[in-house]
Amino acid sequence: MLSPESEHEPRVDMGTDFFKKIGMFGAVLFLILSAAGVILFFTADLGVPDRYESRHDTAYYAQNADTMAELLGELREFVYPNIEGITESYLSADGKSIIIRAESRNLNRVRVTILRDFDEELFIFESQ
């Protein structure tokens, strides 16, 4: 229950109180900075390279070591130059997957970028 004194106090909401404290110049500056933030948010370059359209599907590449070597060549030529942090990549001993080693700080971005265009069953990702 409210006390009789609080019923007569003017009610000030947080927004009004905030703008009274920062004044007209502060309000204009706040709106300009907010608009600039929204513009930067929608136009920022996220560092994600363009998608690569592979020449064949997963079933083709998974056939044998020769087709996996073909995929590795495609990756080295078209995909890796657009991704930072890959330290090395090679075929596994059985030739059924490509092992990609990346710097630990870039591993997640490398993984997401590769798996956006290819199936996970073709790769093993390792941190270096």
Closest CA to 65 of 101, 100, 94: 94
What is the phi/psi pair of residue 54, to 5°? -70, 155
How much is the pLDDT for 35?
A: 94
- The runs of H, that is alpha helices, within the chain are 4-7, 14-43, 58-61, 65-74, 107-117
Beta pairing class for 86-91 and 98-102: antiparallel
Tell me: pLDDT of 1 over 60: no
Domain 58-127 belongs in CATH node 3.30.300: yes
Give pLDDT tens digits for 10-62: 666 777 787 788 888 888 898 999 999 999 888 776 555 667 788 888 899 99
Tell me: pLDDT of 73 over 90: yes
Beta carbons of 56 and 69 less than 8 angstroms apart:
no
Give pLDDT tens digits for 78-100: 888 888 889 999 999 999 999 99
The domains of the chain are located at: 9-43, 58-127
- Residues pairing with 40 in the sheet: none
